[in-house]
Each structure stands twice: as structure tokens, then as C-alpha cells.
């Protein structure tokens, strides 16, 4: 335990903890986004397809996150509920998976915030975040806070904005409990 950790513990300034599920279809950039959240001095590894799931940890000033990076390959999607590049050809699959997630009892009856990273915005001819919002019918999600954040996992643009929104909403939900 470092000096700042000891001081924080004495002053009861410990960071609150949050578990996060990172879900999305295969090749949508989940692991690359998570790599962008690691400290600058962390060893960055070659991103390969996630098999099953990986667990990563990172912290902001106010929260300590544990992120479960769930494989997006079809045969692993049934694992998502145990932890609870959108391309134009697969948007219907994304909508189906989202609908399945939202009706799961662990998600349906909670106010857990949902952040959608609209990744790969650095590429040409991608769907805008407004088009994604309408196509996925995100405005129909009324029982929990949600946000869509355009980003690029490759450049890092937009990722911190999404994490800031998520942190603020998690802390707000913790206050309610």
C-alpha cells in the first residue's frame, strides 16, 4: 500500500468501486477502448480477439473500475448474462442483443447506467451517433440513464468523455442507495 493509499484510508477518502461489463459484437473495439483507459505507463499489448472474457482494472480520481471485457463472438454471447464497429450489416444483431440484455431481470429491474460507445468514428462512411440512437431505439430506454458517446478506440478520442459520464452516473446511483 503506497503513501497516498494509506493517507486516503486514514482520511476515509477511499475510492468507491464499480464493476463494469463491456459488451459488444466481435471486432467492435471493446478491448482497444479498455486499453485506452489504462495508465499511460501501463504495458499495452497487441490486441487479439477476446476468448471468453478478460478482467481489467483502472481508476479515476473518484472511482475504481473493474471491467469485464466479454467476448463478442456469437458462441460466447451467452456468457454476457452471467456478468451482466457497429457496421451496417450487423446492426440488426446489435439491436437483438441489446433487446435481450434489456429484458434480462438483472438489468431490467435496475437503474444501472448504460454507456454506448459508438466506436470507429474515425473511419469513413460510419453511422453517426444520432443514426445509431434511432436505429437501436435508445430513446425507448426510459427506466435507466443511458448515453451514446462517439469515439475512436484507435485515437482515444471521445473515450474519456464516455468514462466521465459513466463515473458521474454511477456515483449518482450510489447516492440514491
Domain range summary for the chain, segments of one domain joined by +: 3-176
Residue 80's DSSP bridge partners are none
Q: Which residues contact 163 (CB under 8 A, 6 or more apart)?
A: 37, 60
Strand order in the sheet with 16-22: 16-22, 63-70, 53-59
CATH class label, 3-176: alpha beta
Span 2-25, mean pLDDT?
61
pLDDT score of 139 = 95
- As a whole-number percent, the residues of the chain with pLDDT over 90 amount to 16
The C-alpha atoms of residue 127 and residue 168 are separated, in whole angstroms, by: 27
DSSP 71-126: --SGGGGGGGGGT----TTTHHHHHHHHHHHHHSHHHHTS---EEEEE--TTSTTP
For 81-127, write each residue's pLDDT tens digit: 444 344 566 778 788 888 988 898 988 888 888 888 888 888 887 88
- Per residue in 43-77, pLDDT (tens digit) is 555 555 555 566 777 777 777 877 666 555 555 44
Q: 134 pLDDT band (50/70/90 cuts)?
A: very high
Q: What pLDDT, on a 0 to 100 scale, did the predictor assign at position 19?
A: 72
* Better-predicted residue by pLDDT, 145 or 34: 145
Quickly count: other Cβ atoms within 10 Å of residue 6's Cβ. Answer: 10
How far apart, in Å, are the Cα atoms of 106 and each of 11, 102, 136? 35, 9, 21
**pLDDT on residue 1:** 45
As a whole number of angstroms, the distance between CA 31 and CA 22 comes to 9
Name the more confident of 156 and 26.
Answer: 156
Amino acid at each position: 500500500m503506497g503513501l497516498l493509499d494509506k493517507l486516503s484510508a486514514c482520511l476515509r477518502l477511499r475510492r468507491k468501486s464499480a464493476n463494469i461489463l463491456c459488451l459488444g459484437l466481435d471486432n467492435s473495439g471493446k478491448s482497444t477502448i479498455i486499453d485506452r483507459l489504462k495508465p499511460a505507463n501501463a504495458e499495452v499489448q497487441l490486441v487479439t480477439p477476446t476468448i471468453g472474457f478478460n478482467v481489467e482494472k483502472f481508476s479515476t480520481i473518484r472511482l475504481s473500475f473493474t471491467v469485464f471485457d466479454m467476448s463478442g463472438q456469437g458462441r460466447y454471447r451467452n456468457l454476457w448474462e452471467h456478468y451482466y464497429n457497429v457496421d451496417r450489416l450487423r446492426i440488426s444483431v446489435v439491436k437483438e442483443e441489446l433487446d435481450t440484455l434489456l429484458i434480462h431481470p438483472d438489468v431490467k429491474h435496475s437503474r444501472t447506467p448504460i454507456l454506448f460507445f459508438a466506436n470507429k468514428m474515425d473511419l469513413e462512411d460510419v453511422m453517426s451517433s444520432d443514426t445509431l440512437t434511432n436505429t437501436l431505439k435508445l430513446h425507448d430506454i426510459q427506466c435507466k440513464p443511458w448515453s451514446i458517446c462517439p469515439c475512436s478506440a484507435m485515437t482515444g478520442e471521445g473515450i474519456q468523455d464516455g468514462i466521465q459520464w459513466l463515473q458521474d452516473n454511477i456515483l449518482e446511483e450510489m447516492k440514491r442507495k
